[in-house]
Amino acid sequence: MFLFWNNSRQLLSFCIIYLSIMIAPAKAEIDLSGFATIGLTNSNDDELIFQSSLDRIPESGLNWQTNSLFGLQINYRVSNNVDIVVQGLLEHKHHDSVSDILEMAFVRYRFNRNWSARLGRLNYNAYLLSEYLNVGYSTLWATPPMEFYTPSSNISYIDGAEVEYRKSVSAGTVQATFAYGKSQAKVASTGENYWFEYESVVNGSLSFETDKWRLKATLSHFRGKDSYFGSLTEFQQQLPSVPSDWWPAAADFAKALDFEDKDVTYAALGYHYNNGSWLLMSEIAMLNIDWAVLNNLAYGYTSVGYIVGDVTPYITYANLNTTDKRTIVAEPAYDAVPTEQARLGLLAMHQGSQNLLDISRMDQQSLSAGVRWDIGARWAVKGQVSRYQLRGPGYGAWGSDLDVNIGERRYITVASLNVSTIF
């Protein structure tokens, strides 16, 4: 298991943070802030489990774990040029080490009014809300559109370095960032924890912001290093032992399941508008994955809200589609298998392989209606109902501990009610 503390780059980062604290002048300032969301979520489907994030353990039925979380952030201003930011997040997920709590832990140096650099654990700057998606008070929805944020939150942080350029122009503010490092994505299930490990994570973003609107473009590239998917990993290890005359495609399929050196490319474009009465937010993205289990994806959403005093009703349409055609796994040569027992075992392996590729496909759309009520300067109550349409055979964005057949179409309704605050 990859551990943040064992990575030399992160150890160096924390040494720098520690030394910065030790040499901090007397005028250094420390600010402590936090955020929390307590929510209830309910779904009318007993087989497929709604997940608000890939790394949160899916809970079925009426529950409070799906959308509830608590976060603390320390901002330590060491000097006019140096500051340190550490953010911890407690949510319903597997915690294998202390590092799993850390969303951010970096030291930042400002060279001048335009240029700055960060070193340590950085937020993945991949979409409009990348800096505060977990801060429920800062978002419009009771539940963000899963069609966009589930695949886009494939990784939530980068352990590495980032350079930022920010400049005010006559019409607004231009910001460009470039980050490089490593990361790990954890995929929570009803049982054990699965994970992807990435090396050579490269991310660039460019945004332009005015008083009323913001436009942001992002481009990322990851290189797979390792992965663990429980029974899938065990199944992959068994494939090379199948005689080639029984199943000629077995060895090639085993290689296709290997995540090492597989390339992932992500591109996104987002737009946000707020004139004090109308809110509009829309994002689209493409995720190209050079891995057999997950196909290329295209997805996005559009949200529209109208502010009436302290109340903001809104609607959201979202769509998520696998863009590749269904992959058909070549059948074994059953005539070459000498015994009935061996043929049945090979049949089960082939059917399991095809089922694996089928259920990982994503083809769904949703329509959500909700309302946000600002009950205080730092408190908001939000309620939302979402209607999802899934097209079979896949349900890759949903959690399940069952062998589910969703048929040609399945409809699921998810209701969310939560209270969010910042302090």
Q: Which of 324, 400, 315, 407 is nearest to 362 (CA)?
A: 324
Q: Are 218 and 204 in contact (CB under 8 A)?
A: yes
Query: What are the φ/ψ torsions at residue 8 (nearest 5 degrees)?
Result: -60, -35
Return the half-sphere exposure (C-beta side, CA atoms, 13 A cut-off) of residue 24.
Answer: 18
pLDDT for the residue numbered 358: 86
**Integer Cα distance of 261 and 329 in angstroms:** 22
Span of 49-58, 199-208, 338-347, 405-414 with lowest mean pLDDT: 49-58
38-61+110-229+262-326+361-422: CATH superfamily: Porin (2.40.160.10)
Whether residue 214 is predicted with pLDDT greater than 90 in this model: the reply is yes
pLDDT for the residue numbered 234: 76
Whether residue 4 is predicted with pLDDT greater than 60 in this model: the reply is no
**Integer Cα distance of 129 and 148 in angstroms:** 12
- For the chain, the domains span 38-61+110-229+262-326+361-422
Q: Any idea which residue has 């963000």 for tokens?
A: 144
pLDDT for the residue numbered 255: 85
User: Could you say which DSSP state residue 138 is in?
Assistant: G
Residue 19: band (very low, low, confident or very high) from pLDDT cuts 50, 70, 90: very low
Whether residue 257 is predicted with pLDDT greater than 80 in this model: the reply is yes
Q: Is the peptide bond before 248 cis (omega within 30 degrees of 0)?
A: no
User: Could you say which DSSP state residue 5 is in?
Assistant: G
Span of 66-75, 239-248, 308-317 with lowest mean pLDDT: 239-248
Sign of the Cα torsion 89, 94, 99, 103 reads negative
Q: Are 380 and 420 in contact (CB under 8 A)?
A: yes
Whether residue 419 is predicted with pLDDT greater than 50 in this model: the reply is yes
- Express each pLDDT in 338-389 by its tens digit: 999 999 989 988 888 888 888 888 999 999 999 999 999 999 999 999 999 9
Please name every residue paired with 99 in a beta bridge, in sequence order, or none if there are none. Answer: none
Residue 250: band (very low, low, confident or very high) from pLDDT cuts 50, 70, 90: confident
Return the half-sphere exposure (C-beta side, CA atoms, 13 A cut-off) of residue 23.
Answer: 8
**Integer Cα distance of 209 and 270 in angstroms:** 12
Q: Any idea which residue has 């109208």 for tokens?
A: 306
**Integer Cα distance of 412 and 391 in angstroms:** 11
DSSP per-residue codes, 153-205: TS--EEEEEEEEEEEE-SSSEEEEEEEEEEEEEEEE-SSSEEEEEEEEEEEEE
Q: Which of 404, 405, 401 is nearest to 190 (CA)?
A: 401
**Integer Cα distance of 254 and 20 in angstroms:** 48
Q: Which of 120, 96, 109 is nearest to 14 (CA)?
A: 120
Helix-strand-coil split of the chain, %, nearest 5: 15, 50, 35
The mean predicted confidence, pLDDT, of the chain is 88
Strands 278-289, 29-43: pairing kind: unpaired
**Integer Cα distance of 82 and 70 in angstroms:** 27
pLDDT for the residue numbered 402: 65
